[in-house]
Amino acid sequence: ELIELMRKGQCFVIQSVMPSSEASANTDPTVFHKRYLKQVRILGEGHFGKVTLYLYDPANDGKGEQVAVKSLKQENDKISDGWMKEIEILKSLYHSNIVKYKGCCTELGGQVVQLIMEYLPLGSLKDYLPKRNLPLSHCLMFAQQICQGMNYLHSKRYVHRDLAARNVLVENDSLVKIGDFGLTKYIPEGEIYYRVREDGDSPVFWYAIECLKESKFSFSSDVWSFGVTLYEILTRCDRRQSPPDVCHHRPLFQEAQGQMTVVILIKLLEQGLRLPCPKDSPHEVKILMERCWSADPSERPDFESLIKKFQSLHN
């Protein structure tokens, strides 16, 4: 119960309000002290964030705990707001297919925090899949686990908005977890979509058609992105078949130099064009993937029904 309270209580507040009360901070397992964090190596970098592997070693005997630490690349008030939300969201999620929050680390004075999560040694699916030659049934098992994590996320009324192989982490050969909640938004009860206002770079090749046209993000637009993620898994994240690459090799993209990618992408999708079905996929998987990419969001399956489908497929 105490830990639960501490999780809810903001560790950065505890530290900034009472900088001298080391005693209380020492007993809070979610407070990480900067001086005990020893950098090991950089794990990955996205647009706004950077994730680094550290050894948290308060005893200074080299036996500490490995943790993944996410921080913002640049500090900026507008982004910083979303950053605190990302931390709050991850803090509130408990599921075996979602990366575990461990705590945070504050600069003296309570300034911007680093997010501490569990370290997943095998990296993202994008790092992992090309190196193995996973059989289809194994791929489908990963797909099902992603659906389980997404189903949980949706039950808490969050839309992820950035589901892609690069954001799915691998714990071991039989367990994957969803990570990167940087674009996640809460959808209030009774509403069905979230309209984004910020522009800037977005993972457009994973976006549903209504996201590209009207910036409407919903539970069903996550299902579309899941379809693209499934495509990535079935191509074993082969770079030459990556969604951006496949699109850029289409004649329309090559002719229309200078035109905005999004404009062409919308045109192609409106013509009914979709990513090709990966080679060894069974007919049922092909149908399922295509349903995730229905132009009409209400025709897309939800994650609960996808879980059942995968259960029957890989058993």
**What residues make contact with Mg ion under the rule CB under 5 A?**
46, 167, 180
- How far lies 109's CA from each of 10, 19, 86, 113, 125, in Å? 14, 8, 21, 11, 37
Task: Give the residue nearest to ligand ADP (CB).
Answer: 46
Going residue by residue from 25 to 64, which x/- string records binding to ligand ADP, judged by CB under 6 A? ------------------xxxxxxx-x-------------
Q: Is 161 exposed, middle or buried (0-12, 13-18, 19+ CB in 10 A)?
A: buried
Minimum CB separation from ligand ADP for residue 101, in Å? 10
243's contact among Mg ion, ligand ADP, none, with CB below 5 to 8 A by partner kind, is: none
Told to check if 70 binds ligand ADP by CB under 6 A, we report yes
Q: What's the rounded Cα separation, in Å, for the pair 267 and 228? A: 18
Q: Which range in 23-31, 123-131, 134-142, 296-304 contacts ligand ADP by CB under 6 A?
A: 123-131
The per-residue b/e assignment along 295-312, b for 16 or more CB within 10 angstroms, e otherwise, is eebeebbebeebbebbee
Told to check if 244 binds ligand ADP by CB under 6 A, we report no
99's contact among Mg ion, ligand ADP, none, with CB below 5 to 8 A by partner kind, is: ligand ADP
What region, left, alpha or beta, does residue 23 occupy, with left being phi > 0 and alpha being psi -120 to 50 degrees? alpha
Determine which residue in the list 90, 141, 154, 179 makes contact with ligand ADP, applying CB under 6 A. Answer: 179
Told to check if 234 binds ligand ADP by CB under 6 A, we report no
Told to check if 99 binds ligand ADP by CB under 6 A, we report yes
Told to check if 180 binds ligand ADP by CB under 6 A, we report yes
Told to check if 72 binds ligand ADP by CB under 6 A, we report no
What region, left, alpha or beta, does residue 94 occupy, with left being phi > 0 and alpha being psi -120 to 50 degrees? beta
Considering only residues 255-314, where is the footprint of ligand ADP by CB under 6 A? Answer: none
Determine which residue in the list 129, 169, 230, 237 makes contact with ligand ADP, applying CB under 6 A. Answer: 169
Q: Which residue, 9 or 121, has its beta carbon nearer to Mg ion?
A: 121
Q: Which residue, 124 or 148, has its beta carbon nearer to ligand ADP?
A: 124
Task: Judge whether 162 counts as a catalytic residue.
Answer: yes
Told to check if 120 binds ligand ADP by CB under 6 A, we report yes
214's contact among ligand ADP, Mg ion, none, with CB below 5 to 8 A by partner kind, is: none
Minimum CB separation from Mg ion for residue 179, in Å? 7
Size of the residue set binding ligand ADP (CB under 6 A): 24
CB atoms within 10 A of CB 221: 25
Q: Which residue, 204 or 256, has its beta carbon nearer to Mg ion?
A: 204
From 28, 162, 180, 222, the catalytic residue: 162
Residues of this chain that interact with ligand ADP (CB under 6 A) are 43-49, 51, 68, 70, 99, 117-120, 123-124, 127, 166-167, 169, 179-180, 182
Positions marked catalytic: 162
